Amino acid sequence: MHNQDPIEIAPQSVRFFHQNLFKTLVYFFLLILVLVGAYKALPLVLDAIFLLVIASILTVVLNPMVDRMESSGISRIIGALIVFGGIFSTVGIGIVKGIPALLIEIGRIKDVIQRHTAADSLDSFMNGINTTISQYLPDFQLDTDIISNLSAQFFGQLGSILGGAINTLTTIIFILIITMFFLVDGSRMMKRLIEVVPNRYFEMSLNISYKTKKQLTNFLRGQLLAALGVAVQSVIGLSLLNWIFDANISGVFLIASIAGLANMIPFVGPFMGMAPAIIVSLFNNLGDPVAAANFYYIFHIVVMFFIVQMIDNNVISPIVVSGSMEMHPLTVILLILIGSQIGVLGMFLAVPAWGISKVVVQEVYQGLKGHRLI
Amino acid sequence: MIAKPKVSYPMFESFKDKLKPKRSQAQLTLSQVEIFSRMSWREIKIIEHAIHIRNYAPNEPIFKQGDPGSGMYIIINGRVGIFFEVPNQEPTQLPVLGESDFFGEIALLDDSPRTASATALDNCTIIGFYRPDLMQILKTKPTLGSKILLSLSEVLATRLRGTNSELLKLNLCLEEQAAAGDHA
C-alpha cells in the first residue's frame, strides 16, 4: 500500500483568520484609495461647501422677501428675479458711485503721505505728530518705524486685494446662481433631502430644520438690521461733525458702511468701525492748525461712535437682535484670532459663524432631548 | 318613448380620457379627508407639494406617546393602531384606523407632547402633514392656509361638541348612580 502523507487541514480558526486577513487587506487598500481620493478632492469639496454655505446664508436673508411676494400672488421665480434685480441695482449704484469715491479717497491719502515724504520724509512728518502728541501726553511717543511699515504694507496689499476682488467675481456669480436656485426651489430640495431620513427620526429632523431655519433667519435679519442702524447713525453723526465742527471727514457713506459691518463683531467691532473715520480725519486735516488744535477731531469721532454704540446697545439691538450672540469677551477674541488665520474676511465672519453654529447646536440638542434620544 | 341608444366613439373616448386630469393617490386621499374635502384640485395640488409620503413596515412606530408632536398623518393604505399607555398597565388600543383616516391633527396647532402612540399594523403608506409645512403655506399662500385652519377648527369643534355631550351623558349617569346609592 502506498503510504500517502495525510493532508493537514488547518483548524477552522486559522482558515477564518487567513480569509479575514485577505478581506482586511483588500478593505485596507480600498480605504487608502478612498482617503487619497478624498485628500486630492478635498480643496474642491471645501470650495463647493463654501459656495453652498454663503448661498444658504443669502437665501435665508432673501427668502422672507420672496415669500412675501409669493403671498401677494407673484410666482416664486418672478419674486426671486425682482429681489435679484433690486440687489443688482443697489450693488451697481454702489459700485458706480462708491468705487470712484473710494479711489479718490485712497489717492488723497496716498498724496498726503507722498507729499509729506517728499517734503521732509515720512519720519519728520511722524515726528511732527509726535510733537503734537507730546503737548498732551508728555511720555507718549508713536513708533515711526512701525507706522511707516504699516502704511507700506497697507498700500502694498491694496493691489493684491483689488486683484483678488476681480478674481472672486466668478465665485460671486456662482454664489448668486446657487442662491437663485435655492430661492426658487429650496423648499423642494429640502423636502427631497429630508426624505432620506429614517421614519424614527423624520419628525424630529423636520422640526429641527424648521426651528433652525427660523432662528437663523431671525439672527441674520437682526444682525443686518443692527448693522443698518449703526450705519445710518454713523452717517448722521459724521455729517453732524462735518457740519458743526467742519471736521472735513470725506467718504461718510463708506465709513458708515464699514462701521455697520464691523458692528457684527461684538466688543472689537465698534473700534474697527471707528478706525477708518479717525484715519480719514487725520489725513484730510494734516497741516490745518484748527484741526491740529482740536487734535484732528479724534476725540469728537470717539464720542460720536460711543453715542452710536449706546443707542445701538440700548435701543436697537434689544429690539432686533436675538439673545443668541451672548458671548464671553475671551471667546470673541479667540474667534477673531482664529478667523484672522483666513484673513480679514475670516475676522468678520468668525463671530457670526460661531453664532450660527451655536443656534444650530442648540436646536439639534433640544430636538434630540425632546424625542428622548439623548 | 323609445330611448336612444348611447353611441360610443372609441377614438373620442380615448381622447376624452387623455384630457382627463390624472390624480395621484395622495391627491385622491387628501380630497377624501374632512379637513381638505372642500378644497379645489388646484389647492390640493399645492398641499401635495407640501406633504411628505412615508412608508412604514408592520409594527413600526409612527410616533410615541410623550414625543413632541409636530403634525398630522393621513393613511393612504394600510392600518394603524392607536395605543394609549398608562404607567404600570398594558397599553389600551383605541379603534384601528384605515384608508383616508387621519390622526395627530392637534399637533398641527401646538407642540405639546403626543397623547397616544401610533403604530403601523401592516405595510402602510402614510401622508405626513407637519406644522412647518402648514406655516410655509400660511406664509406663501395665506388664503389656502386660512382655509385649512378653518376646516381644522371645524373638525376640532365637532369633536369637542361630541366630547361635551359624552361628558354630559357620563355626568348624568354618575348622578343617577349616586341617587340610586342614596335610596339604597
- pLDDT at position A1: 45
Tell me if B13 is assigned to some domain.
no
Cβ burial of B180 (10 Å; 0-12, 13-18, 19+) is exposed
The whole-chain average pLDDT of chain A stands at: 77
Cell of B86: 398608562
C-alpha pair distances (Å), B110 with each of B106, B130, B138: 7, 11, 15
Structural domain including A228 reads: 198-374
Q: How far is B22 from chain A (nearest CA, A)?
A: 21
Q: Per-residue pLDDT for A354 more than 70?
A: yes
d(CA A227, CA A260): 4
Q: For a pLDDT cut of 70, what percent of chain A falls above it?
A: 75
Q: What is the mean pLDDT of residues A188-210?
A: 87
Q: What is the mean pLDDT of residues A297-319?
A: 84
Chain B hits for A372, Cβ within 8 Å = 66-67
**Total number of domains constituting chain B:** 1
Residue of chain A whose Cα is closest to the Cα of B107: A203
For residue B113, the number of C-alpha atoms closer than 13 Å in the C-beta half-sphere is 11
CATH code of the domain in which B47 resides: 2.60.120.10
Find chain B residues with C-beta within 8 A of A207's C-beta: 68, 70, 111, 130-132
Q: What pLDDT was estimated at residue B124?
A: 93
pLDDT of B109 above 70: yes
Nearest to B68 among A199, A210, A370 (CB): A370
Nearest-Cα residue of chain B relative to residue A187: B50
Range of lowest pLDDT (A94-108, A190-204, B86-100): A94-108
User: Could you tell me if residue B133 is inside a domain?
Assistant: yes
Name which of B80, B81, B106, B105 is nearest B93 in CA terms: B81
Which of A286, A279, A232 lies closest to A256 in space, CA to CA? A232
Smallest Cα distance from A205 to chain B, Å: 11
CB within 8 Å: A206 and B141: no
Selected for mutation to probe chain B from A70, A203, A207 (highest B CB count within 10 Å) is A203
A155-164, A227-236, A260-269: which has the minimum mean pLDDT?
A155-164
How much is the pLDDT for B184? 65
According to the model, what pLDDT value does residue A157 have? Answer: 62
pLDDT at residue A97 is higher than 80 = no
- The reply to whether A346 falls in a domain is yes
CA distance linking residue A74 with residue A178, whole number of Å: 21
Of the candidates A67, A207, A372, which has its C-beta nearest B70's C-beta?
Answer: A207
Residue A232 burial (10 A CB sphere; 0-12, 13-18, 19+): middle
Q: How many CB atoms lie within 10 A of CB A79?
A: 23
- Tell me which residues of chain A have a C-beta less than 8 Å from any C-beta of chain B: 67, 70-71, 187-188, 191, 194-195, 199-200, 202-203, 206-207, 209-210, 370-372
Higher pLDDT, B96 or A14: B96
- Kindly list the distances between the CA atom of residue A324 and the CA atoms of A56, A215, A216, in Å, as whole numbers in the listed order: 19, 9, 10
Query: Is the model's pLDDT at A208 over the cut of 90?
Result: no
pLDDT of residue B72: 92
The 10s digit of each residue's pLDDT in B32-53 is 998 998 899 999 999 999 999 9
Range B120-125 average pLDDT: 93
- Whether A322 shows a pLDDT value over 60: the answer reads no
The pTM for the full model equals: 0.68
Q: Is B132's CB within 8 Å of A210's CB?
A: yes
Poorest-pLDDT segment among A114-128, A209-223, B14-28, B31-45: A114-128
CB contact under 8 A, A202 and B61: no
Residues of B within 8 A of A200 (CB-CB) are 61
> Which residue of chain B comes nearest to A70, CA vs CA?
B140
| Average pLDDT, integer, range A318-346 | 71
Do B139 and A200 lie within an 8 Å CB cutoff? no
In a domain, B15, yes or no: no
- For the four alpha carbons of A203, A206, A208 and A211, in that order, the dihedral sign comes to negative
Q: Which residues of A touch B54 (CB under 8 A)?
A: 199, 202
Say what the pLDDT of residue A262 is: 84
- Per-residue confidence at B138, pLDDT binned at 50, 70, 90? very high
With respect to residue B164, please indicate whether it lies within any of the assigned structural domains: yes
* Under 8 Å between Cβ of A263 and A305: no
Residue B126's pLDDT is 95
Q: Is residue A74 part of a domain?
A: no
| Long-range CB contacts for residues A285-293, cutoff 8 Å, separation at least 24 | A285/A247, A285/A248, A286/A112, A286/A116, A286/A125, A288/A248, A290/A246, A291/A247, A291/A248, A292/A132
Query: What band does A10 get if pLDDT is binned at 50, 70 and 90?
Result: low
Disruptive mutation site among B49, B67, B70, B73 for chain A (greatest number of A CBs within 10 Å): B70
Confidence of residue B164 (pLDDT cuts 50, 70, 90): very high
pLDDT at B2: 64
Is it the case that residue A6 has pLDDT exceeding 80? no
Least confident span in A79-88, A101-110, A116-125: A116-125
Is B183 inside a domain boundary? no
Asked whether residue B124 is assigned to any structural domain, the reply reads: yes
| Contact criterion met (CB < 8 Å) for B130 and A188 | no
Task: Give DSSP secondary structure letters for A320-331.
Answer: HS-GGG---HHH
Asked if the Cβ–Cβ distance from B54 to A203 is below 8 Å, we say no
Nearest-CB residue to A70 (from B56, B60, B140): B140
CA angle B110, B115, B119 (to 5 degrees): 110
pLDDT above 90 as % of chain A: 6
Q: Which domain holds residue B105?
A: 23-170
Q: How far is CA A357 from CA A45, A152, A373, B32, B132, in A?
A: 20, 38, 21, 43, 21
Which residues on chain B are in Cβ contact (under 8 Å) with A192? none
Residue A341 lies in a domain: yes
Q: Do A207 and B132 touch (CB under 8 A)?
A: yes
pLDDT digits (tens, 9 = 90+) for A137-161: 666 665 656 656 666 666 566 566 6
Enumerate the H helices of chain B as residue ranges: 10-19, 25-32, 41-50, 131-140, 142-183
pLDDT tier at B137 (50, 70, 90 boundaries)? very high
ipTM for the predicted complex comes to 0.79
| A14, B5, B9, B96 from A9: Cα distances, Å | 10, 87, 80, 60
* Domain presence at residue B11: no
How many structural domains are present in chain A? 1
Q: Do A370 and B52 touch (CB under 8 A)?
A: no
Query: CA-to-CA distance for A242 and A251, rounded, in angstroms?
Result: 11
* Residue A183 covered by a domain: no
CA atoms of A341 and A369, how far apart (whole Å): 36
pLDDT at residue A129 above 70?
no
Backbone angles phi, psi at A327, to 5 degrees: -135, 150
**DSSP character at residue B141:** -
Residue B2 lies in a domain: no
pLDDT tens, residue by residue, A37-78: 888 878 888 878 888 888 888 888 888 889 989 988 888 899
Q: How far is CA B127 from CA A10, A316, A333, B30, B49, in A?
A: 57, 44, 49, 9, 11
Name the residue type at position A107: G
Q: Which residues of B touch A187 (CB under 8 A)?
A: 136
Answer whether residue A226 shows pLDDT above 80: yes
Distance CA A192, CA A186 (A): 10
State the cell numbers at B174.
Answer: 354618575
Q: Select the residue from B67, B130, B140 to test the A interface by mutation, using most A Cβ atoms within 10 A.
A: B140
